[in-house]
Amino acid sequence: MSGSDEQFFPGFATTRVATDEAEIFVRHGGAGPAVVLLHGHPRTSATWHRVAPLLVAQGYTVICPDLRGYGRSRGPAPTPDHAAHAKRAVAADIRAVAARLGHDRFRLVGHDRGSYVALRLTLDHPEAVTQVALLDCLPITEHLRRCDAAFATRWWHWFFFAQPEIPERVIGADPEAWYAPKADPATMGAANHAEFLRAIRDPAVVRAMLEDYRAGLTIDRAHEEADRAAGRRLRMPTLVLWSERDDLADLHGDPLRIWQEWADDVRGHGIDSGHHMAEEAPGALAAALTGFFGATPPPRT
């Protein structure tokens, strides 16, 4: 089933792709090498509405999925071990979506929770990813290894969301009071904001978003620890960007130094933005991405 977002994402089509366990809603448009953009929490693929057209204008095919359980995508019921919402499962969705759209190899961009999916996809399927950009992100294990009172105070939601059942009851009582006060329609764009509101009002979406965090502290953490023990690294060119008006660098220092423990070829810099850089600094973000993509072209296949 396909449609369009002509006013919101000009020239883009919308499609639902069935994977082994999920049905993924995806926006896609443009022509040329493929770039897959993965959103974070509590956004949807609509967060990319200012960046995606800029990448299309530079000659890329752009693919923007809603992650499993987020927005208009649907996945399986939660499992006790949280494997149904593990980044490994979500990464498999994304690879299947790109392949269904005709792209076995692609450039990959992930922000926030989407960056953990991007990391997992590059580690599990390195043959599919020619270049990867990770935004506002460290590996989950690196955050936890550095967890102190400052991190636990600022990022307390990680540990609250991981509790069984309680977050559903708290957020479900008034999801807009929980999520919407920091979501400014003028900054986000009216259509993006409206899509965000529809998503957070859906209890199934809220449950899936919480399962994302529960998986993060359990099965995803175990997968990352196994990667490190096995010596797995990112071998493709890696771009790391962070929001200068957010707290990643304040809490952990230079993100590039940390990512050098995980990637062979890592570069990057801060962006003058708050956390949602695709909405707040789309021009700077698109310029950083296209500069990176153009500077290190992938090998021909």
Residue 271 token pair: 């962006």
| Per annotation, catalytic residue among 193, 223, 275, 276 | 275
**Exposure class string for 9-31: b at 16+ Cβ within 10 A, else e:** beebebbbbebeebbbbbbbbbe
Residue 162, number of CB atoms within 10 A of its CB: 18
Q: Looking at this protein, which amino acid is placed at residue 31?
A: A
- Note whether 53 and 8 are within 8 A (CB): no
Is 112 an active-site residue?
A: yes
- Note whether 90 and 209 are within 8 A (CB): no
- Note whether 20 and 94 are within 8 A (CB): no
| Per annotation, catalytic residue among 112, 136, 220, 227 | 112
- Note whether 197 and 185 are within 8 A (CB): no
Distance CA 232, CA 263 (A): 9
Is 265 an active-site residue?
A: no
- Bond prior to 42 in cis (omega within 30° of 0): yes
**Which residues have a catalytic role annotated?**
112, 275
